[in-house]
Amino acid sequence: MKRNLATEHPDDAALLGYLDAELSRVAMRRTEKHLQSCWKCRSALAELERQAQSISRLLSNQNDSDIARSQNAKAKFLNLKRSLVTLCDKPPRKASSTFFKPKVAGTVVCHHTSRLLFT
C-alpha cells in the first residue's frame, strides 16, 4: 500500500532542516506542499523560527560587561585556588578548639569562595 507523504507530518528535525534549507530538493518540495495544507505544522514551524531567533539574539547580545564579569570571576577563583593550595602545602596546625573540624572548614571555604565569585 502506498503512503501519502504529503499528509505525513514532518518532525521538528525536518522542519528545522526546511528552515535552514538543508533538505534535499524533493524533501523541501514535499515539506512545502505539506505546510500549505497543514496549519498545525505551519504553527510548529513558526514556533521553531521564533525560538531560533530568540537564541540567536541572546547569543549575539553578550556585551563587554558580561565578558569582563566572567574574566573577573575567573581571576578571583584562580587567586583563591592559589591561596588554598598554599594553605594545603603548609603542615597542619593543632586545632585550638574541639569545634574545628576539617570537613566543616572545607565547606565554609567553598561557601565563601562561591559568594566571592558570584556576588
pLDDT tens digits for range 25-62: 999 999 999 999 999 999 999 999 999 888 887 777 66
- Kindly give, in sequence order, each residue whose CB lies less than 8 Å from that of residue 42, ignoring residues fewer than 6 positions away: 35
Give the model's pLDDT for residue 43: 93
Give the model's pLDDT for residue 75: 86
Q: Which DSSP category does 21 fall into?
A: T
Q: Hey, where are the domains in the chain? A: 12-60, 64-118
Q: Mean pLDDT in the chain?
A: 76
Cell 547569543 belongs to residue: 59
